[in-house]
Amino acid sequence: MQRDYEILYIVRPDVEETDLGDATKRVETLIESLDGSIQRTNVWGKRRLAYEVDHLKEGHYVLVDFQIEPARVPEMEATLKISDTVFRHLIVRKPVIKAGAAGGAATPTEPAAAGAADESEPNAEAVTEPGGGAADEPEAPTAAAADANAPDQPGAEREDEK
């Protein structure tokens, strides 16, 4: 059974914009040769890297949504590791969402996604309800509360530790 995946890969910056199509076509051909199917390819363009990788500071980012058998993913990764044009990649399996589930909750194999959705909903209700029914429960600290306690100036952050 094929599963939904996405791959974000970075092509070397010395590849010209005109040749970028050839590099993306090679990755798409790799997926198809492993009996996968491409759903969408999104070329983000040339971007600056967060940190230097192999003495490179930029790269062409490409995001591809595809379907493939889970057993074929290691073969795909092995081929991408030895690629001349792709110097970084990340393949992620997309979460499976039950069709009839109430509220669009994720399957039990994705507890982190379900937990994140459950945590965001009560906070939204507490904010929208004036006088809220959350008086019995202690309020969880929010990002806004953390920002209110932060110093206004960057130089003042560590004065108490000196």
119-161 pLDDT per residue, tens = 434 433 433 334 444 444 445 454 444 444 455 544 444 444 4
Answer whether 0.85 is exceeded by the pTM. no
Write down all domains in the chain, each with its CATH number in brackets.
Answer: 3-93 (3.30.70.60)
What distance, in Å, lies between the first and last C-alpha atoms of the chain? 59
- How sure is the predictor about 103, in pLDDT bands with cuts at 50, 70 and 90? low
Partnered with residue 25 across adjacent β-strands are none
Question: What tens digit of pLDDT does each residue of 108-122 get?
Answer: 454 444 444 444 344
Sequence-distant (≥ 6) Cβ neighbours of residue 53 within 8 angstroms: 59, 87, 88
Distance (Å, whole) CA 19 – CA 68? 26
DSSP 3-state assignment of 15? coil
Question: What tens digit of pLDDT does each residue of 19-78 get?
Answer: 999 999 999 999 999 999 999 999 999 999 999 998 999 999 999 999 999 999 999 999
Q: How would you label 112-146 residue by residue, b for 16+ Cβ within 10 Å and e otherwise?
A: eebeeeeeeeeeeeeeeeeeeeeeeeeeeeeeeee
